Structure 1
Amino acid sequence: MEAFAVPGLPEFEAGDDVAAAIESACDLRDDDVVCVASTIVSKAEGRTADLADYPAGPRAREIASRFEEQTGEERDPRFAQAVLEESTDLVMDEPFLLTETRFGHVGVNAGIDRSNTGGAELLLLPERPSESAERIRDGLPVDAPVIVTDTSGRSFRHGQTGVAIGWAGMPASRDWRGETDRDGHELEVTVESVVDELAATANLVSGEGDDGTPAVIVRDWAFGEHEGSANLYRDLESDFVRQALREWSYEG
């Protein structure tokens, strides 16, 4: 397969048509996978905000105060309030905010970005990124899957990588269970998160910082003859790390 950045995309604003911009910038094929950074999806959907939009409540002020005590760094309680309002579950509240978004993604600060915001103070994640991916896909002239990507840290590892937060036109993962390895042993647990792998591939090409390009085409990749699954996020009953964090307390 090959992966290449879509050239010449504009700075997106609320109401802009992401699909039309991608279509006009490159020749698409049915076997392409279109990976779109959540930043431009959020901008096109008007998901920008300012700290003044989030008057801090008691919980947010408590979180900000405790953070300053532990680290010596000041945190605006309005930012903590924004994170709380964009989250359905506060997995950890110290030494950083790890939360679950409305669509199931668990990440730091509910994925709220303060860089490349297009002039606003805050850039929020799309409310329902799989629906965003479906709308972009519907606007393309070809029958190509679409993945909405974001960068995210990972437990037990340094650094961030590209991950999928929304997708349309393809399963989230391919299921290898029941197939055999090269030694003839049956695979019992292998379920491959292909949307995350494609998002990471796109992130290698798109770059970071001020030289990033917000859309990448992955060409000549095939899902293969496997069963597919729509599941990407673990539920609480099967997420043992998250269960353990409920019993954990931070000692700085």
Structure 2
Amino acid sequence: MELTPVADLPEIRPGDDIAALVAERVDDDLEPGDVLTVASTIVSKAEGRTADLEDYPVSGRAQEIADKIGELTDEEKDPRFAQAVLEESTELLIDCPFLLTETRFGHICVNAGIDRSNVPGHDLLLLPKRPSESAERIRQGLEDRGVEDVAVIVTDTCGRPFRHGQRGVAIGWAGMPASRDWRGERDRDGHELEVTVQSVVDELSAAANLVTGEGAGGTPAVVVSDWDFGDLEGSDELFRSVEDDLVRQALREWEFDG
């Protein structure tokens, strides 16, 4: 497998055509079966998902959250940011010492994935509203330019429970299944696999994140080539349902005692 950053992409602005910008730079290098990973940051910028803190009138709940976290950390917290997180979420799983939320498309992350860095001219950068639809638009845009059978993954960087550090994950995808199902296959000792479902979109996102980099030198798009999904069954299930998520059920009963 080979991962190649898409070099020299400009600062993305609202209305920019990501497919066109990528195709101009790697058209000859994209082959059927390749995967293009695109950071949610530039997808959000192209879709105009910027905001300012003054856009969010503060509710009583947001003020309560800001006061609670501020008291714990001995730092003043802006209730407008808490309000933005609430408005981008369908459920607040943890409200202290940080905000863990479910986004409107099912992704669970800190602060609804709202970014406060690399947002020229604005305070906040929100995640795409429907990242899989965003991925499909980019994929279709590549097809319109003669680049066919290329899958697209919209990625984000977030932390992990039980581990330090962040890694890339998929929040949207098009042109490929999210996972491949190993259940029913045999291991090296002949035992049947009963639970193994491999989240390939997350694994490709993490691999791409190794070469995109972070900070000012980051590159927001990567071409993954010489990779094959294989002949296993695929599935688009990625985000656990509430009924199937024991951790979320436990968090609903948990309260922070600082």
- Bigger shift: 173-182 or 111-120? 111-120
Is 2:193 the partner of 1:191? no
Distance 1:201 1:18 in 2: 21
Paired residues in the alignment total 252
Is 2:14 the partner of 1:8? no
Name the structure 1 match of 2:72. 70
- Bigger shift: 22-31 or 213-222? 22-31
What amino acid maps onto 1:170 in structure 2? M
In the superposition, the TM-score normalised over structure 1's length comes to 0.99
Name the structure 1 match of 2:33. 31
SS at match of 2:31: coil
User: How far has the Cα of 1:119 moved from its partner?
Assistant: 2.6
Distance 2:7 2:97 in 1: 39
Distance 1:73 1:171 in 2: 44
Structure 2 gap segments, 5+ residues each: none
Pick from 217, 224, 231: which aligns with 1:225?
Answer: 231
Distance 1:137 1:45 in 2: 15
What amino acid maps onto 1:156 in structure 2? F
User: How far has the Cα of 1:29 moved from its partner?
Assistant: 1.1
- CA offsets, 1:88-141, max 9 Å, x none? 011111110000000000000000000111331100000000000000000002
- CA offsets, 1:65-88, max 9 Å, x none? 011111101110000000000000
- Bigger shift: 114-123 or 151-160? 114-123
Distance 1:119 1:206 in 2: 24
What amino acid maps onto 1:171 in structure 2? P
Superposed, 1:211-250 pairs within 5 Å as 211-250=217-256
What amino acid maps onto 2:5 in structure 1? A
Structure 1 gap segments, 5+ residues each: none
User: How far has the Cα of 1:142 moved from its partner?
Assistant: 2.2
The percent of aligned pairs where both chains have the same amino acid is 71
- CA offsets, 1:6-29, max 9 Å, x none? 011010000000000000011211
Superposed, 1:141-180 pairs within 5 Å as 141-180=147-186
What amino acid maps onto 2:237 in structure 1? N
Which runs of 4 or more aligned residues in structure 1 lie more than 3 Å from their structure 2 counterparts after TM superposition? none
